[in-house]
Every structure is written in C-alpha cells, then in structure tokens.
Amino acid sequence: MVKSFTCIMCPRGCEISAEISDGRVCSVEGNVCPKGKDYVIQELTAPMRTIASSVLVEGGELPLASVRLNRPVPKERIFDVMEEIRKVKIKAPAVLGQTVIADVLGLGSDVIVTKNVRKKS
C-alpha cells in the first residue's frame, strides 16, 4: 500500500509517498531533505503531536494563560493530556516558561506557560 504525505518539517512542503507492507515502511520517496523521510516514518510508526491550550489564572489581569507542551507526546494520548490540562488552575502571576504540569502523565513532556499574566492590581 502507498500512502501520501505533505511534509511539514520545513517550508518546502514536499509531497512524499511511502510504501508500506506488513506494517513496515519499505520505501519513502519525494523528500528533498532527510527530515522529510524521518517525518513520514514517524507518522507511520509512532505519530507524535504537541498541544497548545490555556489554563485558568486566579487573580490575574487576564482569566487565562496560554500553555503548550515542551515536547511532543504520542498522538493517541492527546485527549488524555488535554484532560489533565483542563484540571489546572494557577495563581497569578503566570510567568513565561513556568511549568504548570511536570512530566504530564509520565510522557516526558512538561506543560509550560507561553504568556505572562500579571497579578490583578
């Protein structure tokens, strides 16, 4: 079976095709750089994703602080991670780079703040 992908690893957006047989990647064609081949193999064998979301901020100038994962997690665990993120409420101030969940669900990724939220004056 042949599957087609548009690579997202660099601005070129290579159209890549991969031949799969018995659950194994037999060939990858169409990538200009090695990142494309690695991307397709990962997508076929163990897809990973990052998440951007927000958490509640108590006593902040804004009600929410944006957060993201600092490392990708397995695609099939995205909803589990989002469930954990929804449980979080932090006190202002929220500081860029602040860890709000360390090693979320033991997946090796931290949930970190991506926007400063000052304390309400």
- Taking the C-alpha atoms of residue 38 and residue 33, their distance in angstroms, rounded to an integer, is 9
What pLDDT, in 10s, does the model give residues 25-52? 999 999 999 999 999 999 999 999 999 9
Share of the chain above pLDDT 90, in %: 93
Residue showing tokens 């090693």: 103
Q: Which of 34-38, 53-57, 75-79, 85-89 has the lowest mean pLDDT?
A: 34-38
Q: Which residues contact 2 (CB under 8 A, 6 or more apart)?
A: 17, 18, 19, 20
What is the average pLDDT score of the chain?
A: 95
pLDDT for residue 2 is more than 90: yes
